[in-house]
Structure 1
Amino acid sequence: MDITYHPITLHKKVPLTISRGTRSQSTNLFIQITADNITGYGEATPFSIGDQTQTTDNITQDLDRITEGISYYHPLDRQIIEESLDQIAPCSAARAAINVALWDWLGQKVGLPLWQLWGLDRQRIGPTAVTVGISSPEDAIARIRRWHTDYPDLRSIKIKLGSPAGIATDQAMFSALQSEFRPHDKISIDANGGWTLEDAKTMATWLAERNVTYLEQPLPVSANHQLGELKHHSPLPIFIDESCFTSRDIMPLAPYIDGINIKLMKSGGLTEAYRMIHTARACGLSVMFGCYSDSALSNTALAQLSPLANHLDLDSHLNLKDNPFIGAKLDLGRLMPNEQPGLGITHQP
């Protein structure tokens, strides 16, 4: 099989600020795997979580090693390709790009969209959240109004908190937004590890009184040992994101949480994402899907598995000025994959 890739810099319409900083653009790697006159597409998005930093340069170097190690196999040689990738041990974003491209190729080969290949029911897909980043109350209001204007059918909103300025600043921003929430809006909170245990306890109670649905990554990864105490005091379900990359991370933390956030770039692709879903279910946990600065390619890929998720946050491509692919489309606030084979994506220059 022939493997090629190239970088594209994607620019956000509105820069996104979280507890760790602000991002306005991202240089992603787009992958093509071709065999039997069929081309599958994948994407690798750089991201940074503490000591887990995967840059465009890191990803490129790992894709070079992957190409050298697996290009002489056929896309149907999935078992040996997976074993080879285990030995190469690339960063998770590079592995995700290869894995998604192989799934896209397979779906096209058999003439089925991936959701149908897996026997899933698209009608079970719930609304995807759109994100309001950390900002002043005035800017937060402007952002949510823009979301409502651009996508009036949206029904789920994720608010980023964990401001370095403290929880009083978080409360002021959230309070300002409350008048903008519509009766049917589902509201969730993501602190990106920006709170201490005591602040997380305070905010969990405060937010529960304001009809928030769940709380995502309230504590930093270094405070995983405090999740049990937080869960004991929190009236809100606790989901983890940065604390959970693959299925191996789930069981040790399962007693202290209520759910996990699966992202393609953390998991290493759709194969591991599928494994994580069933591992989480076996542990009695809920499942949500999330994204980084991904294009429509990666969000369409994860949308194929969306009938299996409780909560969805696949909105990054909706905030792009330049989106190289068209794929799953919003329908009544739900990101719905189409009936085309594979991922069902179309490349646009």
Structure 2
Amino acid sequence: RRLKLKLGGGDGLDVERVRAVRSVTDLPLQVDVNEWWSLDEALVALPQLAELGVEYCEQPLREGDEGGRVLKERSAVPIYVDEDCHTLAGVAACAEIAHGINIKLAKSGGIREAIRMVHAARALRLGVMVGCMIESGLGIAAGCCVAPLCDHVDLDGNLLLREDPCPGVSFVDGVQMPSDDPGLGVTARA
């Protein structure tokens, strides 16, 4: 169990939000800034987030931000990127700006490309997480195929749908569980 907090409100209160959550739970905390911080904002916030026990910070800077190398060198919290790393071709460049990558199968090209990305990241000593977008159980089931190879798993996009058109995975005690049915174990609703 863990909590992943979305930051980047633009109001300077990101650290206070994390501090408020930390005051009521000992669960592991992870943050996703979704490209909202400048390098200066990240360099101020990340040491404070490290003191609060944040495990990693996802995509603090805009995709392609020149400050990525500096942030990786100076960050007190591991930096993971996803907007900077969509396919295998981008993994090596990410080793220059991040401690890990977030692989989203909807962007990477599927299970096979994602597995190639995992192996490339491991060869470069990068951490690996598998994530998702808002997508059906079909996409989540595909992500579950890659999840055992990853350090972190964030497969919850189907939970944001009013009605999942391809149910099959189930959310049990905070974990997305793949189906025991053949294939990906999902069935499209009629």
TM-score by length of 1: 0.52
State the match for 2:136 in structure 1. Answer: 295
Instruction: Report the residue type matching 2:8 in the other structure.
Output: G
State the match for 1:257 in structure 2. Answer: 98
State the match for 2:120 in structure 1. Answer: 279
Larger Rg: 1
The total of aligned residue pairs comes to 190
Counterparts of 2:173 and 2:60 in 1: how far apart (Å)?
Answer: 30
State the match for 2:31 in structure 1. Answer: 189
Equivalent runs, 1:235-254 vs 2, <5 Å: 235-254=76-95
Match of 2:8 among 162, 187, 195: 162
Superimposed CA distance per residue, residues 268-290 of structure 1 (whole angstroms, 9 cap, x where no aligned partner): 11121111111111111111011
Contact 2:133 2:157 in 1 (8 A): yes
Counterparts of 2:94 and 2:189 in 1: how far apart (Å)?
Answer: 42
State the match for 1:178 in structure 2. Answer: 22
Counterparts of 2:147 and 2:29 in 1: how far apart (Å)?
Answer: 19
Name the SS of the counterpart of 1:239 in structure 2.
strand
- 1:341 is the counterpart of 2:182: yes
CA-atom RMSD in angstroms: 1.5
Match of 1:314 among 135, 149, 155: 155
Q: Normalized per residue, which structure has more strand?
A: 1
Percent identity of paired positions between Structure 1 and Structure 2: 40
Cα distance, 1:176 vs structure 2: 2.8
Instruction: Report the residue type matching 2:40 in the other structure.
Output: E
Name the SS of the counterpart of 2:64 in structure 1.
helix
Equivalent runs, 1:33-48 vs 2, <5 Å: none
Counterparts of 1:304 and 1:337 in 2: how far apart (Å)?
Answer: 9
Cα distance, 1:195 vs structure 2: 0.5
Cα distance, 1:337 vs structure 2: 1.5
Contact 2:39 2:67 in 1 (8 A): yes
Which stretches in structure 1 are left out of the alignment for 5+ residues? 1-154
Name the SS of the counterpart of 1:159 in structure 2.
strand
Equivalent runs, 1:1-349 vs 2, <5 Å: 155-165=1-11, 168-181=12-25, 183=26, 185-223=27-65, 225-349=66-190
Contact 2:130 2:146 in 1 (8 A): no
